[in-house]
Amino acid sequence: MKNKQKVLHARVSEELYDKISQKAKKHRVTISNFVRSLIEDYSELSGDVFEIIDDKIREHLKKKKEEVLAYHPIILGKNTACYICDKKLIKGENANIAFFEKSSRKIVVCDDCRKNDRN
């Protein structure tokens, strides 16, 4: 074990504490070990998981399973990339925000992808 370990304090509700405590007991580990392994798992996995989710959303959009309710033309305030084709978009360029029918999510879409959506 490394010598240089830090102690992490986190305030949680009594309910959450009880939940964590019960899960730790169930797994026969200390609360500290249980929470540590959760954080380790999350830190290692979350990046990959979010990338996978991102890809899924992109695929979803390409297959048009999620309906875009409206596009709103915008002028970019920062460099970004088209959410669908990944084309680099530069600050000051025209782009569009897509609003979805069934979610409050918004994405930035280039003009080409917006035009393609009309077909």
The nearest distance, CB 55 to Zn ion, in angstroms, is 16
81 binds Zn ion (CB under 5 A): no
The nearest distance, CB 95 to Zn ion, in angstroms, is 9
From candidates 24, 61, 82, 89, binder to Zn ion by CB under 5 A: 82
Token digits of residue 14: 């009594």
- For the stretch 14-43, what's the b/e string if a residue is b when 16 or more beta carbons lie within 10 angstroms of its beta carbon? eeeeeeeeeebeeeeeeeeebbeeeeeeee
β-bridge mates for residue 70, sequence order: 99
Nearest residue to 85 via CA among 52, 62, 53: 62
110 binds Zn ion (CB under 5 A): yes
Nearer to Zn ion, 45 or 81 (CB): 81
Nearer to Zn ion, 16 or 74 (CB): 74
Which residues make up the interface to Zn ion (CB under 5 A)? 82, 84-85, 87, 110, 113
